Amino acid sequence: MAKGRAELMAFLDEIGISTETMEHPPLFTVEESKRLRGTIEGAHTKNLFLKDKKDQVFLLVAKEDAEIDMKTLHKRLGSARLSFGKPELLEELLGVRPGSVTPFSVINDETQRVTLVLDEALLSYDVLNFHPLENTATTKIGREDLFTFLKAAGHEPQILAASGDAA
């Protein structure tokens, strides 16, 4: 059974990571998030659950307004052509539903099938914001604390210039 928000928060606490979480109505899109979040400091993100033709699975995390060229992203990743992963696969591998996708969800990827990719432009921010496995809240975490969490969850992220004109 997939870990939920309470287990995520307990895990973060266990590994010594302090976060701040703000409750809000369910948000499903970046546009909804922009309208409702107010002035939460730090970078806000979009999280793309992707699968290539060879069944490799990726979670791409980028700044909410990053322009991702889906036609060329596979070349940057060194993968086969990409499409969005099906909701059933998302729930199976990361234990979340569409609208709640977050890098925190790798806590549920115990087989480490998902390759986590962080857009390097996102890493210029000291504070990052993600859903805590559900889209009814936003959790603020420091950039270095995110890396600590990912390592503790068994996921070394791939850092990649996934947005913009960088090749």
Ordered per-residue pLDDT tens for the chain, 167 residues: 899 999 999 999 999 999 999 887 676 666 666 655 566 778 889 999 999 999 999 999 999 989 999 999 999 999 999 999 999 999 999 999 998 999 999 999 999 999 999 999 999 999 999 999 998 899 999 999 999 999 999 999 999 999 875 44
* SS3 assignment, position 157: coil
Q: Among candidates 48, 162, 50, 29, which has minimal Cα distance to 113? A: 50
H runs (alpha helix) in the chain: 5-14, 30-36, 73-77, 87-94, 143-152
Instruction: Report the pLDDT value the prediction gives residue 164, as an integer from 0 to 100.
Output: 74
Domains assigned to the chain: 5-158 (3.90.960.10)
